Structure formats: structure tokens, C-alpha cells
Amino acid sequence: MKNTMIRITYDGTNYSGFQVQTNAVTVQEKLEQALALIYKQTVRITGAGRTDAGVHARGQAANFRAPFEIAPERLPHALNALLPPDVVVTGAVEVSDDFHARYSAKSKLYSYCLDRAVFPQVMKRLYSWHLPGPLDLKALNQAIRLFEGTHDFKGFQASGSRVSDTRRTIYRVETRELAEEELLVLYFEGDGFLYRMVRLITGTLIRAGRGKVSPAEIEKALQGLDYGAAGPSAPPWGLCLEKVKY
């Protein structure tokens, strides 16, 4: 059976996340339904990461064992003919037998988009968090530097996580202002992220930019001394999985 990796982009608005769930519509479910029609049997996929309800992706990745060979250049076309319009497969490639979409990943890149216009921009409302008002970018960028590197992010995960090792490495956090569009985009690249970790860090950075939390308080949270500076969690619709790097 050929091990195949696919790249997927999706609008997460109408889905309860990527991973299959009981009594909820997910992106993985739609992909597996399409694969079952193509291969005439059940095909299970493994995603690179679990995105939550309402979270989007431009560069999600997944792998599966193909029951029989279909040319990789043909597979995206076959899948997209069966998928809903808010889920699109952008590429497929045969990979080594030991490739695993999650465990083989070297890093993941997420973006978080903030709508800085005075009034909500209607055409961007599903993909950004409307956040008008003063925001000290110097203070925000000062806080960003604290999160880079290897830390125990135990205080920056939502309840319900069963992960035992909460140490992660963030390679970079960057901001990009799109002045004409009145957007501010935050980028996070790391070796992995805990449950709602990016959204909690984003919420913390916004508080820092509004003078509601100090660098010293953030450092205490990262040291496990006081988690009061962490969060709150930014809403899911501003978050997007940009790319999984292998």
C-alpha cells in the first residue's frame, strides 16, 4: 500500500475542527468520505495537526495508505470533484513508508489575523478578530521576544489537554502590518503547539500591547510561577495553519 501525503486548504467556519469527532462535522470526515468513494473502501488519514472548530488552514497536511495506486497529479482533481467547496486538496505526493504527517513534521507555521479598522470589515469577519483601539506595537513586540525559544508552556494551554510533555520550542514570532487593509498579522513558527496555545499567546500579546500585563508577569507565567498573565484565548476564526514543514 502506497503511503501518500496530501496538502489541504480549508475554511474552518462550518466545521468542528479537523479531526474526526462523534456527532460533529469535521474536515477529516469529508476527506475520508471522498477517499472512500475513490478507493471503494474505508481509508483513514492522519493529519499533521488538530485544528479547532472555526480555525482555518492554508497548508494542512495529512497522509494515508492508498489501497491501489493513483497518479499523484490526478488525485487532487479526483478528491476536489467530491469535496465541498470549502475544502480543497492542493497537492499529493508519494512518501516513504515511515512518513507520518504529524511526527515527521519539523515545524508548523500559524498566523493570527487582527482587524484593526474602527468598524468590523464585513468581508474579513470570518478570518480575523476585530480589535479596534490603541495597541502599543513596541510593547507587543517586546512581549513577543519572551515567547521565542524553548519553554514549558503549561500555562498556555487550554484545559482538557492530555499532553504530558508541555515543553515546546517557538522558533520565531513576527508581526506584519498591512496598513492599506487595516490588518495586523501575527506569525508563530514552532516545533509543535499545545491545545489552543497560539490563541492563548495571542490573547496575552494583546494584553501586553494594551498595557494590561508586563514582561515580568509574562516571564513568571513561562517559569510556572504565576499563570495569571496567560490569555485570554483569542477567538478561533482569526487563526490559520499556514504551513507544515518537513
Q: Determine contact, residues 158/234, Cβ cutoff 8 Å.
A: no
Name the strand (E) or helix (H) holding 31. Answer: helix 27-39
Q: Name the architecture of domain 2-94.
A: 2-Layer Sandwich (3.30)
Residue 161 has a pLDDT of 73
Q: How far apart are the first and last CA of the chain?
A: 22
SS (H, E, C) 76-112: HHHHHCCCCCCEEEEEEEECCCCCCCCCCCCEEEEEE
Q: Where are the domains of the chain?
A: 2-94, 107-245
Q: Determine contact, residues 3/97, Cβ cutoff 8 Å.
A: yes
Q: Identify the active-site residue in 11, 52, 136, 165.
A: 52
What's the pTM value of the predicted model, to 2 decimals?
0.95
User: Cα 137 from chain centroid?
Assistant: 23
Stretch 227-237: mean pLDDT: 92
Task: Give the Cβ contact number of residue 238 at 10 Å.
Answer: 26
My answer on whether omega of the bond before 232 falls inside 30° of 0, hence cis, is: yes
pLDDT digits (tens, 9 = 90+) for 66-103: 999 899 999 999 999 999 999 999 999 999 999 999 99
**224 has pLDDT over 90:** no
Cα three-residue angle 88-94-95, rounded to 5 degrees: 110
Task: Give the Cβ contact number of residue 198 at 10 Å.
Answer: 26
Q: Determine contact, residues 201/188, Cβ cutoff 8 Å.
A: yes
Listed residue (168, 132, 151) closest to 49, CA to CA: 168
> Per CATH, is 107-245 categorized as 3.30.70.660?
yes
**186 has pLDDT over 80:** yes
| 52: helix, strand or coil | coil
User: Cα 107 from chain centroid?
Assistant: 12
* Matching fold, domains 2-94 and 107-245: yes
Residue 226 is a catalytic residue = no
pLDDT digits (tens, 9 = 90+) for 30-58: 999 999 999 999 999 999 998 999 999 99
The answer for residues whose C-beta is within 8 angstroms of residue 113's C-beta and 6 or more apart is 124, 127, 128, 129, 183, 184, 185, 186, 238, 240
**135 has pLDDT over 80:** yes
DSSP state letter for 13: G
Residue 159 has a pLDDT of 78
Mean pLDDT (the chain, rounded): 95
Backbone angles phi, psi at 156, to 5 degrees: -115, 40
The answer for residues whose C-beta is within 8 angstroms of residue 200's C-beta and 6 or more apart is 156, 157, 158, 230, 231, 232, 233, 234
